[in-house]
Structure 1
Amino acid sequence: MAIMNVVPLKSTAAGPFQPVTALRGLAAFAIVGVGISGVAAVTGWGLPCPWRALTGTLCPLCGATHVGMALLRGDLAAAWAANPFVLAGLVVLVGLGVIWTIEALGGPAVRAPRGVRLDGRGVWVTIGLLAFAFTLWRNLAGAAG
């Protein structure tokens, strides 16, 4: 009988939260968003929405480029009119960026209370449900109005 060396599998569980890693991801997201919005503002070329092309309805991100262009001009009202869901998401991301920057610089770690804390999957499910509800609202309100 041969003796087998058992190599433990690498854990798939996420390690402890690292604010610097989160800030890198947030910075990459911001660079891409500002880049797309800047190109659209200068050239008029935006990203076409495949969902809208196929269905004729608005997806939860339709208008995101217009939000970015409005924010580059400093026009919050136009950004809100283009897509309040995206603008609210950006406000949340800015808030998280501030909190994570403070933590990365040695400040206190701010975490949600244990009873309402979501894991990675829970965050995406919540965002998905909010996006679905917003999509229904915006398309049904547009059809009624």
Structure 2
Amino acid sequence: MSFVATVLFWRIYLHRAGELLPAAIAAARRPDPLARSAATAHLVMLAGIVATAVGDELVIAHPLGHTPRAWVAVILGGPALFLAGRAAFEYAVFARVSPDRPIGILVLLALAPAVLLAPPLVAAVAATAVLLGVAVADTVRAHRGPPEPPSPPG
């Protein structure tokens, strides 16, 4: 699950906005605020990846048994933080956010009570499934039309 989640983080990050940041900065009327917001978004994504790594370590060490609340917070909260940072990054590049990112965050929050009753491995599988759903939604959206050019806000 840890490896799959890592691949999905990479895929979600690179999908369009990650590829177009330099072009967005070049197209921005005010590149400094865009660069700052992109940097902040990257810090949030990094915090999400670190939290996910902590959750992965817990799941690897204790895949079965009881899942404490703090573990649920890092196992599901890490991907939620990553998606929140990715949404902010997408807004910086395109001045809009794809609905799959906030939906993914809401699904992760909704899963929290259920995974408290399941082993840590189930929580990790659930978090990875949400990331997979976001990556698939990105791919489907990309195939619906031509590539979107960067259009940073203001």
Q: Same fold (TM over 0.5)?
A: no
Structure with a larger share of its residues in helix: 2
Which one scores higher on RCO, CA 8 angstroms, separation ≥ 6? 2
Rg comparison, structure with higher value: 1
TM-score, scaled to structure 2: 0.29
